[in-house]
Amino acid sequence: MFFAALFLCRFQVWMSRQSLALADHFFPDRVRPRALNLYNKILQDRKNLLGDMMKEQKKKLADDQMEGRETVVRRGLQSRGFIRVNCSVCNQQDLRLADQANTRLCVACGAFYCIKCFCLRRYCQECQNDMQVIDRVELYYEDLSDDEESVEVEEREEEEEEEE
């Protein structure tokens, strides 16, 4: 497959040169204008390519700068209670970032959760990020082995009561 593609690339170049050689043979007085026209076309293509790359980079930079500013402004307005959002799971209304007792958000994507939905869900509904682990610290983790130990302790207490 590679050799076929390489052959076709070389064949295309060879055919282009053959068409120029035929034009040179039949119209020798137009060789110089044709060469100048090709040279100008190559220069124009290079100029357009560089200009397009520069425009694209400027647009990308402007978008990145505005995106960062938009996030800061949005978070500032949310923290002061001007922008209120709904819970991502149960659509509880009027969640504010300033209300830390009743509002939680996903650290990865910024989705809002009421405290009930946050405690009941381990993974974010939007980005599937583990919400209960932040900086390798588990927040609302209930260890099943603790439950088993508490059951064993209760069984022992019941046995002791029966023996007495």
pLDDT per residue as tens digits for the range 104-158: 777 777 777 787 777 777 778 778 777 776 666 666 544 444 444 445 555 666 6
Residue 137 lies in a domain: yes
| pLDDT of 8 higher than 80 | yes
Residue 79 lies in a domain: no
Residue 35 lies in a domain: no
User: CA distances (Å), 56 to each of 46, 121, 139, in order?
Assistant: 15, 41, 43
The radius of gyration computed from the CA coordinates of the chain, to the nearest angstrom, equals 35
| pLDDT of 6 higher than 50 | yes
User: What is the per-residue DSSP string for 57-75?
Assistant: HHHHHHHHHHHHHHHHHHH
Q: Rounded CA gap, 92 and 73, in Å?
A: 24
User: What is the per-residue DSSP string for 76-135?
Assistant: HHHHTTSS-B--TTT--S-B-TT-TTTEEE-TTT--EEEHHHHHH-SB-TTT--BTTEET
Helix (H) or strand (E) holding 164: none
Residue 42 lies in a domain: no
| pLDDT of 59 higher than 50 | yes
Number of domains in the chain: 1
The proportion of the chain whose per-residue pLDDT surpasses 90, expressed as a percent, equals: 4
**What number is the average pLDDT over the span 65-69?**
70
Residue 132 lies in a domain: yes
- By residue range, what is the domain housing residue 104? 84-149
Which of the two residues, 92 and 6, has the higher pLDDT score?
Answer: 6
**123, β-bridge pairs:** 130
Which of the two residues, 153 and 58, has the higher pLDDT score?
Answer: 58
**What number is the average pLDDT over the span 55-81?**
74
Residue 78 lies in a domain: no
Residue 31 lies in a domain: no
Residue 101 lies in a domain: yes
Query: Which pLDDT value is given to residue 97?
Result: 64
Can you give the pTM of this predicted structure?
A: 0.37
Average pLDDT, the chain: 75
Of the pLDDT bands very low, low, confident and very high (cuts 50, 70, 90), residue 79 is low
